[in-house]
Structure 1
Amino acid sequence: MKFYTKDNYDPTTSVGFALSKARNVILAEMDLVMKDLDISGQQMGIILSMARNVASTPFELSKLLEIDTGLMTRMLDKLEQQDILARTRSVEDRRMVNLQLTEKGRHIATEIPKRAPEVLNKRLENFSNEEFLEFRRLLTKFLRA
């Protein structure tokens, strides 16, 4: 089924617009609660992914977080300059770069879960449990398409 056609498509009422706007709102609110840690909402994803051993290379992070490699490199450069992560060359393959959180990065990783839920819970406060589960299910379905 096609929900949009050239005749009924309005970018400001499309699902894409709503998802983009929702992402921007969440990132701005995450930026605020992470401000004193000197990280952004986007950087938060990198730090948590590394802390939870989900990704340890720039390529893995780019793929997981759907961030292009150029932006990922710039974000990693900034985190390295802030002494939040360190880069090392792989011993097995010198072309590969491994990432590790520094002590400061590990501390920030413990702070994120104390702050991020308040942002999401505030946005979800008018949802029933059933609505929340359905919303999450539908987003997952949308992302699999």
Structure 2
Amino acid sequence: MKHYTRDNFQLTQSIGFHLNKARNSLLMEMDSALRPLDINGQQMGILLSLTRGVASTPFEISKLLGIDSGLMTRMLDKLEEKGLLERSRSIDNRRVVNLTLTEKGKAVAAQIPEIAPEVLNQRLKEFSEAEFLEFRRLLQKFVSTR
């Protein structure tokens, strides 16, 4: 089904406009809340991916978070400069880079669950439980649809 046509499309009424605005607002709020940890919202995703064992290479994290390889490299450089992670070549395949959190990185990552849920809960405070579940379901459907 086509929801938009040439005649009814308006920028400020499009899903893309609202998703972009929501993303930007949420990232600004998350960045502000994470400032005491000296990380931002995108770096948070990398640290949590490594902490939870969801991904362990730049490629896996790029794919998971939807970040291009150039931005991923710059973010990893920053995290490495801050002493939060280390990169090492795989013994089995020298082309593969493995990422591991340092002790400092583990300590920072351990504090994220105290901060991030508060930012999200503040945004979602007007949502009922049913609205929250439906919103999450619809976003997951939107992301997985091509």
Q: TM-score, normalised by structure 2?
A: 0.97
Letter in 1 for 2:22: A
Distance 2:11 2:78 in 1: 34
SS in 2 for 1:100: strand
Deviation for aligned residue 1:79: 0.4
Which residues of 2 match residues 1-145 of structure 1 at below 5 A?
A: 1-145=1-145
Q: What is the percent sequence identity of the aligned residues?
A: 64
Distance 2:60 2:11 in 1: 32
Deviation for aligned residue 1:54: 0.4
Deviation for aligned residue 1:141: 1.1
In the alignment, structure 2 segments of 5+ residues that lack a partner are none
Letter in 2 for 1:57: T
Stretches of 4+ aligned residues off by more than 2 angstroms:
none
Distance 1:70 1:6 in 2: 35
Distance 2:144 2:88 in 1: 34
Distance 1:134 1:109 in 2: 29
Distance 1:93 1:129 in 2: 47
SS in 1 for 2:98: strand
Deviation for aligned residue 1:6: 1.4
Aligned alpha-carbon RMSD (Å): 0.7
Q: Deviations over 1:95-117 (max 9, x none)?
A: 11000000110001100000000
Q: Deviations over 1:109-136 (max 9, x none)?
A: 1000000000000011011111111111
Distance 2:130 2:8 in 1: 31
What is the number of residues matched between the two proteins? Answer: 145
Distance 2:59 2:20 in 1: 24
Letter in 2 for 1:106: K
Distance 1:10 1:103 in 2: 50
Letter in 1 for 2:18: A
Letter in 1 for 2:44: M
Deviation for aligned residue 1:25: 0.8
